[in-house]
Structure 1
Amino acid sequence: MTPDTAERPQMSVEDFEELVGKAPRELRNRLEFLGGRLCIRHGPLDVEEFEELAEAAPETVRLEYINGKVVVKAMPDGNHGEIFVWLQEQCMQHRPDLRVYPESGVKAEAYRKGRARTDGALAPKGHFKGRTEWSAADGILMAVEITSHDRDTDQRDRIDKPVGYAGADIPVYLLIDRDHNTIVVFSEPKDGRYQQSDSYTWGATVPLPAPVSVTLDTEELKDYAD
């Protein structure tokens, strides 16, 4: 990786201090900052405590609750944003009835015990109107993640997110992997796992199965290779 794309810590000490300052009083003493990571003392938070913490977090700190752990999601860089816009345009060309919503909070995992912030959520226009920060996954046709160059992207995006989104019965999970210049299409969720997983190199034609039913021309992604 070049210096601009080198692996980054979860968060800065300044962001951690701001998070502690805004966190509910009963949670402040449980937050630690070790090795560039946010850590929770005295056992994990439950999902209700997490939601309180996430609501109080500053704009520069994006929190998720994955596999019972609080995770800090890296802020997107320029190429990340360009890839998201590319995907929006591709989907709109084929499915003008749908929208790719950015930064959508989703109740993921089995029994909706996880809280994930998708980079994108493909759903019918107006789907999120009137919903709270953490929305049920019902009606979302595809969850999208675009990897960032942080130390936790492997565990989060390639391992935990497929389980979380399959557990919420989201029909398709699209992983745009910037480390490997690939697109992985997960589909057919059953019993908390996607039964199908297909990988394509950037530049390939990528079919997204029903109910998405979109074919992606990924040639432009080569312009965003880090």
Structure 2
Amino acid sequence: MAEEGQVIACHDLRVWHGQIRKGYESNKLIVVYLTAPWCVPCKFMAPVVDELAKKFTNVMFLKVDVDVKQLKYVPIDFGVDCGVESMPTFVFLKNDVVLDKLVGADKVKLEQLTERHATIVVYFTASWYGPCKFMAPVVDELAKKFTNVVFVKVDVDELKSKAVDFGVDSMPTFIFLKGGDVVVKLVGADDKVKLERLTETHATL
């Protein structure tokens, strides 16, 4: 069985239905990667998808070969034509709802859409600061508990420009992103209960 950070190849209907059900039950963003062995752009995108799976470990990437007879209805269910001009196609799902589709080998757009539809918590920290050290294990536990949320750690000493971009001037700061927009900003290490509550709220949206 594939672990987080890997692309899951669905070779038959049993695997497909099992993985889709698992994704829905965990409330994860699912990216369905419709591909074909004869498709040259698909071969170009394969390592790109592998890298995205490693980067967005809390997003489920499912690879479907449209030439497999058992799986021929999967692209049809998503309204995807399996012709030369339609491969590869990426379908973004959450809770049985199609959020987006991307047709073609556009690696920049693929990463942008993955980031847009994932729930992301950006954790601004400094390795030398006591409150940040206190919150580090708290964030680790939340990442384990809320497997459908992507936690991104930013060390402000290494990436000062990112802190400036988000208007961060106090440590630690937690920025919640949804659809590429800031939805919540939480500053300080005083309220780990509130941090968990906010994570739970936005993980289910």
TM bucket by the smaller chain? under 0.3
Query: Higher relative contact order by CA 8 Å / sep ≥ 6: 1 or 2?
Result: 2
Larger radius of gyration between Structure 1 and Structure 2: 2
**TM-score, with structure 1 as normaliser:** 0.26
**TM-score, with structure 2 as normaliser:** 0.28
Structure having the higher strand fraction is 1
